[in-house]
């Protein structure tokens, strides 16, 4: 499993906080972005694309703060091919120890038609904007968006222009997941062969998963000469998502015999960040997802179980501990103490200070009183709840009681603490969840917001299992997602709905402040 330090190094460019966050409903708070960025930095990600600074004041603030806190990773801001975007990106990343500006323009016939630029006009735009970016920063990445559907002759022409203007990384995006592995490899090989100066820059690959080939396309590009992969944690991203970081990193590690490349990723941190991204984005990892799915290291077939017991390598091509997955599932209970809880959480990837442990221990005891046995997944869900509880919410669930059954009316008696004041409502609905949500709506009118997603997942087995509930609300184009866990599904539902509502309120306030600032200016 060890990789030779003399092997070609492949840079890992993570865009979870930019392209991944563009997945509808995956918007993260500032504190969550800072947390994920810190985890990416610690696991050895080479470049973190922290956001799109000109998109909003919130995006600018997030990129700026990530740039200031980064210890090792290059911090990158995205910019369209215009001076205003590039200047804004530079202002956001300039305080990073290692800043980068990433500018792009759509070069395919479809995108040229949208911008109404001729080939010559676009070529001149590329020269001007890349040159402007290079005058600000010595680390410039340029991307011809929809490169895989751009005419080869024109693609070679604009890549040469970008290199001459000062780009140090040329990223070749398969923006709509259209290409196949052989095409991906051939495209990189063609550019390396035909473009003057190609051997002096790093070529990168950015693949989407619309046809399920993002990982294969990225690895094919590397075999052809690309030395940077753009990817996201859990493959998060628009439509069917992006190349999954964990898949390409582990593929090169496990099959180093045929893919002799190395990365600086600490793979033992993969599971922890996968779980955290799933929690803050509200996008659960599918059970059969490669590397990080719940079933990735489970064996139910008798033949498989027997083989694994005798020699794990018979049915496992990598070790669970290689990705930070604990190999034991020690059960804790209400008699377990702080030391046992701290040791188990450390085994799961959570390092807690004394004050944090004190707060988490209170939550653990409350959970242990309701569940006979507390498993690893219960603790992970509990930690996700702890991390998302910022302590400054407008609204909190204080009390909830529901009445349901075949004969009784479906009703909910709910008390919410709203800005420090308790308010109560009793409402009816089509079942206990609907009644509970109606009570929330009665106490916090939000007529413009609609419920787009409601999902329930059992954390563990058994009738006392915790339920993790995901809720997504939408209002005037703004989307807010949240999760909550509890042994009572209705309580988890109420907490998740209220958490999403808090996020929506926060976005309203930011929009109002931005409008006021614009008016005063």
Residue 208 annotated as binding site: yes
Residue 209 annotated as binding site: no
- Say whether pLDDT at 391 is over 70: no
Structure tokens given for 416: 């919410």
Question: Measured between alpha carbons, how far is 110 from 424 in angstroms, rounded to an integer?
Answer: 55
pLDDT of residue 301: 45
Mean pLDDT of the 179-208 span: 98
Digit-coded pLDDT (tens) for 96-107: 999 999 999 999
Q: Which of the two residues, 247 and 356, has the higher pLDDT score?
A: 247
How far the first Cα of the chain sits from its last, in Å, is 59
Q: Which of the two residues, 126 and 287, has the higher pLDDT score?
A: 126
Per-residue pLDDT band for 392 (boundaries 50, 70, 90) equals low
pLDDT of residue 125: 98
Digit-coded pLDDT (tens) for 45-55: 999 999 999 99
Mean pLDDT of the 8-35 span: 88
User: Across-strand partners of 427?
Assistant: 412
Digit-coded pLDDT (tens) for 432-458: 999 999 999 999 988 788 999 898 988
Residue 242 annotated as binding site: yes
Beta strand segments in 375-449, E: 395-403, 411-418, 421-428
Structure tokens given for 86: 């590039």
Per-residue pLDDT band for 388 (boundaries 50, 70, 90) equals low
pLDDT of residue 2: 47
Digit-coded pLDDT (tens) for 142-163: 999 999 999 999 999 999 999 9
pLDDT of residue 371: 82
- The count of other CB atoms within 10 Å of the CB of residue 421 is 7
- The CATH superfamily label for domain 395-517 reads Alpha-isopropylmalate synthase LeuA, regulatory domain (3.30.160.270)
Residue 311 annotated as binding site: no
pLDDT of residue 334: 83
Mean pLDDT of the 336-359 span: 85
- Say whether pLDDT at 473 is over 80: yes
Mean pLDDT of the 252-279 span: 94
DSSP state of 393: -
3-state secondary structure 81-112: CCHHHHHHHHHHHCCCCCEEEEEEEECCHHHH
pLDDT of residue 8: 92
Q: Chain centroid to CA 392: how far?
A: 23
55's CB contacts (< 8 A; 6+ apart) are none
Task: Indicate if the alpha-carbon torsion angle 368, 370, 372, 374 is positive or negative.
Answer: negative
If we measure between CA atoms, which residue out of 168, 154, 152, 292 comes closest to residue 228? 168
pLDDT of residue 227: 98
pLDDT of residue 1: 41
- Say whether pLDDT at 61 is over 90: yes
pLDDT of residue 442: 94
Digit-coded pLDDT (tens) for 299-345: 444 444 455 455 566 656 888 889 988 755 557 888 888 888 888 88
How distant, in Å, are the alpha carbons of 88, 338, 363, 402 from that of 356? 37, 11, 11, 33
Run of H or E including 228: strand 228-231
Residue spans per domain, the chain: 8-281, 297-325, 331-388, 395-517
DSSP 119-158: HHHHHHHHHHHHHHHHHH-S-EEEEEETGGGS-HHHHHHH
Run of H or E including 457: strand 450-458
Mean pLDDT of all residues belonging to the chain: 89
| Span of 20-29, 123-132, 456-465 with lowest mean pLDDT | 20-29
Q: What percent of the chain has pLDDT over 70?
A: 90
Per-residue pLDDT band for 190 (boundaries 50, 70, 90) equals very high
- Say whether pLDDT at 359 is over 90: no
- Say whether pLDDT at 387 is over 70: no
- Say whether pLDDT at 515 is over 60: no
- Say whether pLDDT at 94 is over 70: yes
CATH of domain 8-281: 3.20.20.70
């Amino acid at each position: 499993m060890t990789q030779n330090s003399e092997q070609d190094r492949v840079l890992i460019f993570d865009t979870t906080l930019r392209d991944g966050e563009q997945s509808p409903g995956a918007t993260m708070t500032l504190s969550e972005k800072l947390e994920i960025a810190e985890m990416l930095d610690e696991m050895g990600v080479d470049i973190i694309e922290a956001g799109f600074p000109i998109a909003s004041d919130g995006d600018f603030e997030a990129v700026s703060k990530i740039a200031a806190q980064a210890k090792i990773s290059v911090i990158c801001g995205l910019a369209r091919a215009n001076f205003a975007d590039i200047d804004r990106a530079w202002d956001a990343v300039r305080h990073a120890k290692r800043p980068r500006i990433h500018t792009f323009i759509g070069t395919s016939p479809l995108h040229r038609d949208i911008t109404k630029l001729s080939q010559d006009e676009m070529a001149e735009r590329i020269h001007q904007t890349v040159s402007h970016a290079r005058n600000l920063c010595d680390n410039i990445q340029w991307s011809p968006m929809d490169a895989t559907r751009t005419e080869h002759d024109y693609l070679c022409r604009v890549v040469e222009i970008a290199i001459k203007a000062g780009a140090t990384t040329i990223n070749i995006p398969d923006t709509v997941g259209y290409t196949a592995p052989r095409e991906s490899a051939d495209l990189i090989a063609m550019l390396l062969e035909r473009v003057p100066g190609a051997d002096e820059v790093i070529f990168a690959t950015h693949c989407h998963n619309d046809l399920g080939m993002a990982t294969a396309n990225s690895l094919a590009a590397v075999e052809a000469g690309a030395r940077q992969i753009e990817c996201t944690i859990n493959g998060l991203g628009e439509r069917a998502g992006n190349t999954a970081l964990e898949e390409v990193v582990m593929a090169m590690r496990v099959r180093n015999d045929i893919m002799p490349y190395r990365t600086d990723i600490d793979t033992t941190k993969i599971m922890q960040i996968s779980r955290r991204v799933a929690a803050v984005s509200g996008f659960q990892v599918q059970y059969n997802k490669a590397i990080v799915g719940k079933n990735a290291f489970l064996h139910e077939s008798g033949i498989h179980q027997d083989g694994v017991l005798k020699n794990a390598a018979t049915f496992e091509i990598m070790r669970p501990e290689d990705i930070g997955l604990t190999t034991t599932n020690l059960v804790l209970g209400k008699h377990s103490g702080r030391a046992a809880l701290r040791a188990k959480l450390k085994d799961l990837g959570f390092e807690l200070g004394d004050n944090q442990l004190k707060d988490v221990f209170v939550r653990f005891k409350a959970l242990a009183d309701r569940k006979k046995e507390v498993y690893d997944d219960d603790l992970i869900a509990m930690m996700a709840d702890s991390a998302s509880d910022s302590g400054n919410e407008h609204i909190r669930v204080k009390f909830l009681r529901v009445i349901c059954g075949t004969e009784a009316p479906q009703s909910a008696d709910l008390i919410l603490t709203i800005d420090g004041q308790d308010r109560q409502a009793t409402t009816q609905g089509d079942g206990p969840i609907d009644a509970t949500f109606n009570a929330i709506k009665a106490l916090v009118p939000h007529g413009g917001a609609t419920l787009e997603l409601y999902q329930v997942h059992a954390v563990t087995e058994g009738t006392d299992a915790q339920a993790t509930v995901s809720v997504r609300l939408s209002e005037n184009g703004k989307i807010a997602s949240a999760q909550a866990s509890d042994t009572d599904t209705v309580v988890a539902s109420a907490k998740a709905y209220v958490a999403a509502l808090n996020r929506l309120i926060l976005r309203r306030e930011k929009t109002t402040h931005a409008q006021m600032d614009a008016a005063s200016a």
